[in-house]
């Protein structure tokens, strides 16, 4: 049924870069056979899923939305891919994304944009727009995203779906193509809080192949999602997540959510986190710096595309020609920014300062979580904007992540879930819930209460 749905709508939505028809049917049949034989089934047996094209898959291409990896079939499965297969999930295919997960609209994909199923002329968010669009268009009931600065939560918000950025280190990054390693985090996307929890439990947990993976049990997310409640909880509202640039309908729905939380028995506390005003600036030094280093491996020798290798050119020239042809504008912008920020004369002024801001943000969160159990905010300042509107204005694009980025810099956990439609445009609004590191279960407890 999901393959039929993909056939019917994906030409318009363009959520998928690759549909693995044969593989999906084979997996589904294997589940049926196991069942018939009375064998033990995995926890998500037979449930179809859309996988962001940033996780390696040994039986499908992995492009990361880039021309530089066009046609590359990785030699191994990411830990997350392995865990999905072990859970008997049916992987439908790989979803569209901004190139190397850099963007907030999926317009930076080298393979063309994805439409928002609520209005195909609008963006589905990014970088994981394909995964969220697949959910919103009913092409898949579960999806996987990655969140470096908001790429799970912002697409969830603008498509009316649920997305969770687990605690940094909560889901293995082994086989997840690196953008900014100290921020990148894979996580679950779904249409309901409980569905996201069921997926979270399957993909989470320690992985010896990832040195930043946390060696502790997955927080009890499913139990929390089954027992939604905010009774007696302290919920923080941060002063800095408001003001200029926030759409009226987004603010209205957010304020209604805060009232709902109060009516369900939560106490609301106003919080001041002054360093959050600097989060976007710090992020756009740290993320490009790490990206300039991580993307150095795309040198035309190891993977994918190779341009100009005609026997007359040096290896350096072939590398330069390949990167020139294979990377899009946003990727080049970030590699240049990051290389500059890390250069010897500027390292302390830029990268060093950004790291200090990062520490201040972590401290602001620590102080906040002494006073509250969770923090809530709008996920994004606006609803889905028209495709093309911010394409030539990187600064306007970067603002989409104003409320999501502090969490990545501090490494704690956060969820976005729908909280109604904005009255002025009828488009979905996302409510963000933020919890301390390894308290991901709180997101589900609160999310399930207000869903």
Q: Which is nearer to ligand GLN, 127 or 319 (CB)?
A: 127
Task: Work out which of 115, 130, 150, 155 binds ligand GLN, going by CB under 6 A.
Answer: 150
Q: Which is nearer to ligand GLN, 151 or 319 (CB)?
A: 151
In the complex, the smallest distance separating the C-beta of residue 334 from ligand GLN, rounded to whole angstroms, is: 8
Token code pair at residue 113: 């944009």
Q: Where are the beta strands (DSSP E) in 234-389?
A: 234-238, 267-271, 374-378
**Of the listed pieces 21-29, 86-94, 102-110, 355-363, which binds ligand GLN according to CB under 6 A?**
102-110
Task: Work out which of 57, 114, 151, 257 binds ligand GLN, going by CB under 6 A.
Answer: 151
Q: How many helices (H) and strands (E) does the chain have?
A: 15, 11
- Enumerate residues 274-313 that contact ligand GLN by CB under 6 A: 287
Q: Which is nearer to ligand GLN, 48 or 169 (CB)?
A: 169
- Name the catalytic one among 104, 105, 127, 132: 127
- The whole-angstrom separation of Cα 399 and Cα 34 is 48
In the complex, the smallest distance separating the C-beta of residue 101 from ligand GLN, rounded to whole angstroms, is: 4
Q: Which is nearer to ligand GLN, 150 or 428 (CB)?
A: 150
Q: Is 211 a catalytic residue?
A: no
In the complex, the smallest distance separating the C-beta of residue 408 from ligand GLN, rounded to whole angstroms, is: 7
- The whole-angstrom separation of Cα 199 and Cα 201 is 5
| Residue 141 CA from chain centroid, whole number | 17
The torsion angle over the Cα atoms of residues 386, 108, 408 and 214, rounded to 10 degrees, is 130
Q: Which is nearer to ligand GLN, 15 or 414 (CB)?
A: 414
- The whole-angstrom separation of Cα 167 and Cα 439 is 8
**Of the listed pieces 97-105, 195-203, 297-305, 410-418, which binds ligand GLN according to CB under 6 A?**
97-105
Q: Which is nearer to ligand GLN, 47 or 196 (CB)?
A: 196
Q: Which is nearer to ligand GLN, 107 or 147 (CB)?
A: 147
**Of the listed pieces 4-12, 21-29, 142-150, 205-213, which binds ligand GLN according to CB under 6 A?**
142-150
Q: Is 127 a catalytic residue?
A: yes
95: Cβ contacts below 8 Å, ≥ 6 apart = 15, 16, 17, 50, 51, 52, 53, 128, 130, 131, 133, 134, 143
- Enumerate residues 23-82 that contact ligand GLN by CB under 6 A: none
Task: Work out which of 148, 161, 213, 413 binds ligand GLN, going by CB under 6 A.
Answer: 148
Q: Is 104 in the site for ligand GLN (CB under 6 A)?
A: yes
DSSP class of 255: H
**β-pair type (90-95, 374-378):** unpaired
Q: Are 105 and 123 in contact, with CB atoms under 8 Å apart?
A: yes
Task: Work out which of 195, 201, 373, 401 binds ligand GLN, going by CB under 6 A.
Answer: 401
**Of the listed pieces 98-106, 194-202, 309-317, 422-430, which binds ligand GLN according to CB under 6 A?**
98-106
**Torsion region of 65: left, alpha or beta (phi above 0 gives left; psi -120 to 50 gives alpha):** left
- The whole-angstrom separation of Cα 409 and Cα 401 is 12
- Name the catalytic one among 151, 213, 413, 416: 151
Q: What is the DSSP string of 12-34?
A: HH--EEEE-HHHHHHHHHHHHHH
In the complex, the smallest distance separating the C-beta of residue 340 from ligand GLN, rounded to whole angstroms, is: 17
Helix (H, G, I), strand (E, B) or coil at 280: helix
Q: Is 137 a catalytic residue?
A: no
- Enumerate residues 175-234 that contact ligand GLN by CB under 6 A: 179
Token code pair at residue 38: 């009375």
Q: Are 247 and 381 in contact, with CB atoms under 8 Å apart?
A: yes
Where does this chain bind ligand GLN (CB under 6 A)? 101-104, 127, 147-151, 179, 287, 401
Q: Return the active site residues.
A: 52, 127, 151
């Amino acid at each position: 049924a999901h393959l039929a749905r993909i056939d019917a709508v994906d030409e318009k939505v363009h959520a998928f870069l690759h549909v693995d028809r044969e593989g999906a049917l084979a997996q589904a049949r294997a589940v049926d056979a196991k069942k018939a034989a009375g064998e033990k089934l995995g926890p998500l047996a037979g449930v179809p899923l859309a996988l962001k094209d940033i996780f390696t898959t040994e039986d499908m291409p992995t492009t990361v939305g880039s021309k530089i990896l066009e046609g590359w079939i990785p030699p191994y499965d990411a830990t997350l891919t392995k865990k999905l297969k072990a859970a008997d999930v049916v992987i439908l295919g790989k979803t569209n994304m901004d190139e190397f997960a850099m963007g907030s609209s999926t317009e930076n994909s080298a393979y063309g944009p994805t439409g928002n199923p609520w209005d195909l002329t609008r963006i589905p968010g990014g970088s994981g727009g394909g995964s969220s669009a697949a959910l919103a268009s009913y092409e898949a009931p579960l999806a996987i995203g990655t969140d470096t600065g908001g790429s799970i939560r912002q697409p969830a918000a603008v498509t009316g779906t649920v997305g969770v950025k687990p605690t940094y280190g909560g889901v293995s990054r082994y086989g997840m193509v690196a953008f900014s390693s100290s921020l990148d985090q894979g996580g679950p996307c779904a249409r309901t809080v409980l569905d996201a929890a069921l997926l979270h439990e399957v993909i989470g947990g320690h992985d010896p192949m990832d040195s930043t993976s946390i060696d502790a049990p997955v927080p009890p997310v499913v139990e929390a999602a089954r027992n939604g409640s905010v009774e007696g909880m302290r919920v923080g509202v941060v002063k800095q997540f408001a003001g200029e640039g926030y759409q009226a309908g987004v603010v209205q729905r957010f304020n209604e959510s805060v009232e709902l939380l109060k009516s369900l028995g939560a106490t609301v506390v106003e919080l001041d986190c002054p360093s959050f005003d600097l989060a976007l600036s710090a992020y756009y030094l740290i993320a490009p710096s790490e990206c300039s280093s991580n993307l150095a491996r795309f040198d035309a020798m190891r993977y994918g595309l190779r341009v100009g290798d005609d026997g007359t050119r040096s290896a350096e020239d072939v590398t330069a020609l390949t990167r020139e042809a294979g990377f899009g504008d946003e990727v080049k912008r970030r590699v240049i920014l990051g290389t500059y920020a890390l250069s010897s004369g500027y390292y302390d002024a830029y990268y060093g300062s950004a790291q200090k801001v990062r520490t201040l943000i972590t401290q602001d969160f620590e102080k906040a979580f002494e006073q509250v159990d969770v923090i809530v905010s709008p996920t994004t300042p606006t609803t889905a904007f028209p495709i093309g509107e911010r394409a030539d204005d990187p600064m306007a694009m970067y603002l989409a992540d104003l409320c999501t980025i502090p969490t990545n810099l501090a490494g704690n956990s956060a969820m976005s879930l729908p909280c109604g439609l904005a009255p002025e445009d009828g488009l979905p609004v996302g409510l963000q819930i933020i919890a301390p590191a390894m308290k991901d279960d709180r997101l589900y407890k609160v999310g399930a209460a207000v869903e």
